[in-house]
A and B are shown apart, each in its own frame.
Chain A
Amino acid sequence: MIDKRMTADEAVAHVADGMTIGIGGWGSRRKPMAFVRALVRKRVKDLTVVSYGGPDVGILCATGQAKKVIYGFVSLDSIPLEPHFRKARQSGTIEAVELDEGMFLLGLRAAAQRLPFLPTRAGLGSDVLKINPHLKTVKSPYDDGEELVAVPALELDAAFVHMNRADASGNGQVLGRDPYFDNLFCMSAARAYMSCEELVSTEELTRGGPLQSLLINRMMVCGVVEAPGGAHFTECPPDYPRDEKFQREYAATAKDAAAWKAFRAKYLDGSEADYQKVVGHERL
């Protein structure tokens, strides 16, 4: 079995300027934030970010590293609209590709299946087709002749996901109640990286929850990072809930540049260990 253990910084070393990256999780839930923080430290730029977006998107907008964002939504859940993303949209600093949430899923699924597109009714009649002139429709080749939207594959150069548990060879487990679409993100990417709250032996992994919780198998990922607190400040049940206080602190920094600069210096410019030390200390 291949030992795929590495650090988050080693994982993001493969991300180059201009790449398209997919980020797993959903809104402010089980986001691979340790990888996002590593991307911030690396200062890689001109990224296209593909995400059911939360603070991952917000942070990469605030640092100026996201050139383009492809999203179904960008939300902090308890704060309905991601404020840094809102600011980026309103000041025109990012290129946006806004898709219906279901279209987004079909784009991932098409990429995972190595198809050019998947058809859907979603989008027909709405302005999603108007704001995305690259989207085309197809006619059913069968007798019904129905016109459908052909959602193009969302192919990724790299994907990042965060699991509750994983083993060194890349099997990953979700112990929370929603797997989201992390397996599809991995399968849509040329290279996928998985962080986890706790790295365990394969025996412990399979004993640690129902077999259906083993969402990721080792074919899907090329790197495994043990990152306790790696989803903070998003939720990672059952390991921890969202850190609402921290999220409010983060959200408030969208209002003024000095506050964001201070936030970044305090939390994001140091190492992951520094981050966990600061937020762990503040949580006590």
Chain B
Amino acid sequence: MSVSEATRADICALAIAECFRDDGEVLVSAMGTMPSLGARLAKATFEPNLLMTDGFNLLLRHALPLGAKPTDEDIEGWMPFGSVFDTLWWGRRHVMMGASQIDQFGNQNIACIGPWRHPKAQLLGVRGAPGNTINHTTSYWVPNHDARVFVPSVDMVSGVGYDRAASLDAASSRFHEIRRVVSNLGVFDFNTPDHRMRLVSIHPGVEVDRVLANTGFELVVPDRLDTTPVPTPDQLSALRELDPQGHAQKELVA
């Protein structure tokens, strides 16, 4: 892998890292390879105070390369599952999950395809998505942006979107925040009057039409559209150190 040339995967990793900017001392739970790399990049560069685990129960002081086994010197604390639940109910957490389906208000489905009672395909189940989304900040990563993922309505609401949150009492939804969605094509948020999904930036080399054609609902497109930032040389070398085997490079379809 060239050190000087940024790939689409590098751009995605940086866009994911940016989701955690200014989070400070919160527990980051990044599900999957690319989110892990992005979160580690944030911690290794501009957001060193993030708390991160080894994916199991150890809190690690530094962002280690993907796949690296922590030594005793890397450990700063203990986070068994019981403490993860306490922390997520406390709200000091930002999770980045995947989404098998996501709609224009950010309702996410990881549970099943088809009706829940007789699913065509059983997926992961809701896991912690309902509790995560109603208790603390959530972002999403989608490596395969197409109209089967970005759908008009999801088959089962696992992670709660803005329209569902708005239908609750103000007190019940006060901790709900979907920060951003990062896909292989662009970056999206919900900073619109009615919290519908908005295109924030497209990755270099991606046409807006391609994003629209692969999105199954009407996307808010601002007049001024940014291009997703390309990693600086320092960020690139950090990415090479954090993913020496290039696992994240393999995750992208195109």
Interface size on A, residues (CB 8 A): 41
What B residues does A145 contact at CB under 8 A? 169, 171
Q: Which one of A68-76, A162-170, A270-278 is at the interface?
A: A68-76
What B residues does A102 contact at CB under 8 A? 85, 88-89, 128, 131
What A residues does B112 contact at CB under 8 A? 89
Contact A126 B85 (CB under 8 A): no
Contact A89 B122 (CB under 8 A): yes
Q: Determine whether A92 belongs to the interface, using a CB cutoff of 8 Å to chain B.
A: yes
Q: Determine whether B213 belongs to the interface, using a CB cutoff of 8 Å to chain A.
A: no
Q: Which of A72, A81, A121 has the most CB of B within 10 A?
A: A121
In the bound assembly, the distance between CA atoms of A207 and B165 in angstroms comes to 51
Contact A146 B172 (CB under 8 A): yes
What B residues does A131 contact at CB under 8 A? 116-117, 156
What A residues does B82 contact at CB under 8 A? 105, 179-181
Give residues 114-132 of B contacting A (CB, 8 Å).
Answer: 116-131
Contact B81 A147 (CB under 8 A): no
A interface footprint on B122-162 (CB within 8 Å = 1, 0 otherwise): 11111111110111000000000000000000001111100
Question: Which residue on A lies nearest to B121, using beta carbons?
Answer: A90
Q: Determine whether A127 belongs to the interface, using a CB cutoff of 8 Å to chain B.
A: yes
In the bound assembly, the distance between CA atoms of A22 and B124 in angstroms comes to 21
In the bound assembly, the distance between CA atoms of A82 and B172 in angstroms comes to 33
Task: Give the interface size class of chain B.
Answer: 35 or more
Contact B131 A178 (CB under 8 A): no
What B residues does A80 contact at CB under 8 A? 124
Q: Determine whether A26 belongs to the interface, using a CB cutoff of 8 Å to chain B.
A: yes
A94 to chain B, nearest CB (A): 11
What A residues does B119 contact at CB under 8 A? 89-90
Contact B134 A85 (CB under 8 A): no
What B residues does A92 contact at CB under 8 A? 118
Contact A125 B131 (CB under 8 A): no
Contact A177 B56 (CB under 8 A): yes
Contact B122 A86 (CB under 8 A): yes
Question: Which residue on B lies nearest to A176, using beta carbons?
Answer: B57
Q: Determine whether B220 belongs to the interface, using a CB cutoff of 8 Å to chain A.
A: no
Q: Determine whether A123 belongs to the interface, using a CB cutoff of 8 Å to chain B.
A: yes
Q: Determine whether B67 belongs to the interface, using a CB cutoff of 8 Å to chain A.
A: no
In the bound assembly, the distance between CA atoms of A26 and B127 in angstroms comes to 13
Give residues 131-180 of A contacting B (CB, 8 Å).
Answer: 131, 144-148, 177-180
Contact A121 B169 (CB under 8 A): no
Q: Determine whether A98 belongs to the interface, using a CB cutoff of 8 Å to chain B.
A: yes
Contact A178 B125 (CB under 8 A): no
Q: Determine whether B192 belongs to the interface, using a CB cutoff of 8 Å to chain A.
A: no
Contact A126 B129 (CB under 8 A): yes
Contact B172 A124 (CB under 8 A): yes
Contact B117 A121 (CB under 8 A): no
In the bound assembly, the distance between CA atoms of A147 and B171 in angstroms comes to 8
Contact A72 B122 (CB under 8 A): no
In the bound assembly, the distance between CA atoms of A264 and B165 in angstroms comes to 47
Question: Which residue on A lies nearest to B166, using beta carbons?
Answer: A125
Question: Which residue on A lies nearest to B164, using beta carbons?
Answer: A125
In the bound assembly, the distance between CA atoms of A98 and B116 in angstroms comes to 10
B interface footprint on A87-103 (CB within 8 Å = 1, 0 otherwise): 00110100000111111
Q: Determine whether A16 belongs to the interface, using a CB cutoff of 8 Å to chain B.
A: no
Contact B120 A90 (CB under 8 A): yes
Q: Determine whether A122 belongs to the interface, using a CB cutoff of 8 Å to chain B.
A: yes
In the bound assembly, the distance between CA atoms of A127 and B167 in angstroms comes to 13
Contact B168 A178 (CB under 8 A): no
Question: Which residue on A lies nearest to B128, using beta carbons?
Answer: A101
Contact A177 B57 (CB under 8 A): yes
Contact B131 A73 (CB under 8 A): no
What B residues does A179 contact at CB under 8 A? 80, 82
In the bound assembly, the distance between CA atoms of A90 and B128 in angstroms comes to 21
Q: If A146-B171, A180-B81 touch, does A122 touch B134 (CB 8 Å cutoff)?
A: yes
Contact B125 A147 (CB under 8 A): no
Contact B124 A126 (CB under 8 A): no
Contact B116 A127 (CB under 8 A): yes
What A residues does B133 contact at CB under 8 A? 125-126
What B residues does A180 contact at CB under 8 A? 80-82
Q: Determine whether B111 belongs to the interface, using a CB cutoff of 8 Å to chain A.
A: yes
A interface footprint on B16-53 (CB within 8 Å = 1, 0 otherwise): 00000000000000000000000000000000000000
Inter-chain pairs besides A74-B125, A125-B160, 19 sampled, C-beta below 8 Å: A73-B124, A73-B125, A90-B122, A92-B118, A98-B111, A103-B131, A121-B131, A124-B168, A125-B130, A125-B176, A126-B126, A128-B126, A144-B171, A147-B172, A177-B58, A178-B57, A179-B80, A180-B80, A180-B81
CB pairs A–B below 8 angstroms (25 shown): A72-B128, A74-B125, A81-B124, A98-B126, A101-B85, A102-B131, A121-B131, A124-B160, A125-B130, A125-B133, A125-B168, A125-B176, A126-B129, A126-B134, A126-B159, A127-B111, A127-B126, A127-B156, A128-B130, A177-B58, A177-B80, A178-B56, A178-B57, A178-B81, A181-B82
